[in-house]
């Protein structure tokens, strides 16, 4: 389900969910990398990602990439 995130990233080429860690409160949260709104930490309200050119610019640490294909396959059993 989770793939290891590369060391360097900023933009992802396709739609994916990213598991990120808030640098302020260490909360782990899954965000969508094509978010067109500012994504904020649910715990402390710190900005996790900013919309830019149709893709989210992730401001926080990416722990893993969640591929939607794997999610769908898992749901179907
Ligand atoms: Zn936070």
Rounded to the nearest angstrom, the distance between the alpha carbon of 41 and the centre of ligand 1 is 5
Ligand 1 midpoint to CA 76 (Å): 33
Residue 14's pLDDT band, with cuts at 50, 70 and 90, is low
Top-confidence residue, 75 or 40 = 40
If you count them, how many residues does the chain have?
77
Which domains does the chain carry?
2-76 (2.20.25.100)
pLDDT in tens, 34-44: 767 888 999 99
pLDDT single digits (tens) 55-73: 778 777 888 887 655 544 4
Task: Summarize the confidence of residues 45-62 as an average pLDDT.
Answer: 82
Q: 47: which 2 tokens?
A: 């900005």
Q: In what order do the strands lie in the sheet with 55-58?
A: 39-40, 47-52, 55-58
Mean per-residue pLDDT over the chain, rounded: 75
Residue 28 sits at φ, ψ, to 5 deg, of: -100, 130
Q: How far is the CA of 72 from the centre of ligand 1 (A)?
A: 28
Residue 33 has pLDDT above 70, yes or no: yes
């Amino acid at each position: 389900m989770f793939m290891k995130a590369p060391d360097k990233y900023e933009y992802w080429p396709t739609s994916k969910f990213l598991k990120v860690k808030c640098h302020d409160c260490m909360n782990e949260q899954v965000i969508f990398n094509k978010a067109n709104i500012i994504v904020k930490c649910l715990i402390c309200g710190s900005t996790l990602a900013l919309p830019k050119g149709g893709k989210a610019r992730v401001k926080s640490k990416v722990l893993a990439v969640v591929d939607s294909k794997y999610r769908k396959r898992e749901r179907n059993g």
